[in-house]
Structure 1
Amino acid sequence: MKTPASSAFDSTSDCATKPAQNLASYKQAIADFEAFLQAQNPSNIFDAKECKKHSSLQNYTPQNSSHKDSSSKNSTSPNSTSQDSTSHYSTSQDSSPSFLPPDFHPHFLLAFWEMLLNGGKRFRPNLLLAVVDGLNPILNKNAFLPALALECLHTYSLIHDDLPSMDNAPLRRGHPTLHTSYDETTAILVGDGLNTYAFYLLSKCVLPPSVAISLVRELAVSGGLEGMIIGQALDCHYENQKLSLEKLQTIHIHKTAKLIATSLKMGAIIANAPSELIAKLESFGLELGLFFQVRDDIIDAVQDSTQAGKTTQNDSAKNSYVNLLGLSGARQKLNELKDKLESSLDSFPKGIQKNLRFLLAEFFKEIK
């Protein structure tokens, strides 16, 4: 099978100097990713042929490649060592592991996919796609498995965050939480499964091994002991102690912001962006993560569960920006972060600017 050549982003790439001039490519990537995600559903996940059909991705090939098929022995990626040959990659990847038959357990696999497929803003995967599309849109489909890995890890964190030992929340994404619709054991194990499945997906992505390893490292750091896990541990430990603004911000940088920053960073790594741009995107992502935490605290204070799609009025006794600064002060903090983010967008390449402005427009609206 012939595979289309796709160039990674570098200073000489056409995609670096001539990104898409409109939003059509990014909007299509968002729609295609959602279709790809929905294809991983309990009705066909056990059918390898069906799963493979939905998971057909472009081969990742170097700029100006002259190879004709995926078995070429001389094709190497522009950002890898000589052993990172594209001959290692198939144009069709099965993203599903070999699960036990669905009737082996009465509900576990349905529970596994239920929250992943039901609702959600897909914000983190769409951040990743915004960067890839903004720099080198020919790699959009190659980014789907890393984007799905992000969504899996984020979803696992929500399932565990809602557990009785943590927030004890009954509602998430407009649906009952897993521990209420099934049981706590199922919720814990589904979360564990999604966490490990994220890294399985990264091992299957159609990218050079050096890129895949970098993605694994970034996701493990931001989702692990140096990021989300320690952030959640601190949040639970200090739940009944009033914190300073600085300490509250430290918790949320780790709990929320680092994974958002990593979403942007992973997109830049896939597109082979220069280190200076990767660092700028990471810094932007940390500010964006704080913005989202302040926004979430305000939503918890002013919206009901139907509006928010999750349990609200739940932070009255917890450390939050609203409790620390008051509702008016939290809104002021949110606007300050928004202004800083909008100003920072101007420094990014036009393609990334365009995509991020589109993605963030809804979130920048005033909360009522």
Structure 2
Amino acid sequence: MTPMPDPAVETGALLDTWRARTDATLQQALDSVADGEPRLHAAMGHAVLLGGKRMRPLLVHATAYAFGAPAGAADAAAAAVELVHAYSLVHDDLPAMDDDALRRGQPTVHVAFDEATAILAGDALQTLAFSLLAESPLAAEVRLAMVATLARASGANGMCGGQALDLAATGDGGSIGVAALERLHAMKTGALLRAAVALGALTAGVDAQTRARLDDFADALGLAFQIRDDLLDIEGDSATLGKTAGKDVAQDKATFPALIGADASRARLDGLAARMRDALAPFGETVGPLAALGRRAIERDH
């Protein structure tokens, strides 16, 4: 009798394949600008190629796969969202922001190089992301929608705005309410994760009703991802996390454990896990990798 395939093994193989495709596309994108200033190019590579969870590009690929996009169609979008994420980390780590010396187990870009180079590297990674989308081999209307989606998620009403709210609350983290903290996280972390799922949906050309369910899934995942980050900051260690543990407490940042406690934060994660399951429930087995990424956001240790 032929053994039944193991869905977990198949999902793991798909995620490994998409991660490899993302790394290859990122390398190609960096190679395309390798004739520029050498120190800047090295700093860009340091920010992008030295590890990372690749959660955002995996969400792009998993969504595109779930709804029948051709293999490789999501490559540019997956790499683009990771480039924007990488740029944001470079800038977040600067002394003017979170002032961190460790990222992905390596010195942060401004430590490995210098602050001016780090700022320029972040700027260059962001523009490279939009270049990838604009030049991808998709229909013009799809490319335009992707550029708009990523721009909105990255800007003043998305990731950058969330970072500004976070900086404003730092040093007085207990003064912010839960609703305001959810808004902060939805902008700073959730917007780019939602954009990743939206980019995958655009690649596959799904209908409006499906997009709405996927956005609900991604919204829950984004908040879960940040609550897990908040918990890891107080429960993890720097070696496992690949970044400095305990920074949130030291800087009196607004976090869920600080506002509602660790136990209540874990309970919120349980609720968000159920919401993700409900959002994907109408779809078939092809959303397995997407569901697995939702679980990973909650269960990860770094």
- What's the CA shift for 1:146? 1.0
Report the AA paired with residue 67 of structure 2: L
Kept in 2: contact 1:153–1:194 (CA 8 A): yes
> CA RMSD of the aligned region, Å?
2.1
Kept in 2: contact 1:159–1:177 (CA 8 A): yes
2:217 is aligned with 1:284: yes
Show CA shifts across 1:72-115 (max 9, x none).
xxxxxxxxxxxxxxxxxxxxxxxx24733xxx54x221111112
- Provide the C-alpha distance between the structure 1 equivalents of 2:244 and 2:13, rounded to a whole number of angstroms: 35
**In structure 1, which of residues 206, 229, 251 is the aligned counterpart of residue 184 of structure 2?**
251
Show CA shifts across 1:234-286 (max 9, x none).
11112233100000111111111111111111101111100111111112111
Kept in 2: contact 1:299–1:367 (CA 8 A): yes
Report the AA paired with residue 211 of structure 1: V
Report the AA paired with residue 103 of structure 2: R
**In structure 2, which of residues 11, 15, 18 is the aligned counterpart of residue 30 of structure 1?**
18
- Provide the C-alpha distance between the structure 2 equivalents of 1:270 and 1:365, rounded to a whole number of angstroms: 28
- Provide the C-alpha distance between the structure 1 equivalents of 2:64 and 2:17, rounded to a whole number of angstroms: 10
Pairs aligned (count): 289
Show CA shifts across 1:317-352 (max 9, x none).
111111111122222222221222223221334312
Kept in 2: contact 1:37–1:117 (CA 8 A): no
1:295 partner SS: helix
**In structure 2, which of residues 163, 166, 169 is the aligned counterpart of residue 238 of structure 1?**
169
More helix by proportion, 1 or 2? 2
Show CA shifts across 1:143-162 (max 9, x none).
11111000000000111111
2:297 is aligned with 1:342: no
* Large movers: runs of 4+ above 6 Å: none
**In structure 2, which of residues 89, 92, 101 is the aligned counterpart of residue 161 of structure 1?**
92
Higher RCO, Cα 8 Å, sep 6+: 2
**In structure 1, which of residues 132, 135, 159 is the aligned counterpart of residue 64 of structure 2?**
132
- Provide the C-alpha distance between the structure 2 equivalents of 1:300 and 1:205, rounded to a whole number of angstroms: 38
- Provide the C-alpha distance between the structure 2 equivalents of 1:24 and 1:178, rounded to a whole number of angstroms: 31
2:197 is aligned with 1:261: no
1:330 aligns with: 265
- Against the structure 1 CA distance between its residues 31 and 149, is the aligned structure 2 distance closer, same or farther, given a 3 Å change threshold? closer
1:195 aligns with: 126
Report the AA paired with residue 254 of structure 2: N
- Provide the C-alpha distance between the structure 2 equivalents of 1:170 and 1:24, rounded to a whole number of angstroms: 32
- Against the structure 1 CA distance between its residues 221 and 349, is the aligned structure 2 distance closer, same or farther, given a 3 Å change threshold? farther
Unpaired segments ≥5 residues, structure 1? 1-21, 46-95
- What's the CA shift for 1:140? 2.7
- Against the structure 1 CA distance between its residues 25 and 295, is the aligned structure 2 distance closer, same or farther, given a 3 Å change threshold? closer
- Provide the C-alpha distance between the structure 2 equivalents of 1:239 and 1:338, rounded to a whole number of angstroms: 28
- Provide the C-alpha distance between the structure 2 equivalents of 1:184 and 1:24, rounded to a whole number of angstroms: 38
1:182 aligns with: 113
- Against the structure 1 CA distance between its residues 277 and 171, is the aligned structure 2 distance closer, same or farther, given a 3 Å change threshold? same
2:242 is aligned with 1:315: no
1:363 aligns with: 297
1:331 partner SS: helix
1:116-155 matches, within 5 Å, as 116-137=48-69, 139-155=70-86
2:206 partner SS: coil
- Provide the C-alpha distance between the structure 2 equivalents of 1:183 and 1:154, rounded to a whole number of angstroms: 20
1:157 partner SS: helix
Larger radius of gyration: 1
- What's the CA shift for 1:313? 0.2
Kept in 2: contact 1:231–1:252 (CA 8 A): yes
1:275 aligns with: 208
- Provide the C-alpha distance between the structure 1 equivalents of 2:20 and 2:71, rounded to a whole number of angstroms: 9
Report the AA paired with residue 99 of structure 1: D
- Against the structure 1 CA distance between its residues 361 and 333, is the aligned structure 2 distance closer, same or farther, given a 3 Å change threshold? closer
- What's the CA shift for 1:28? 6.1
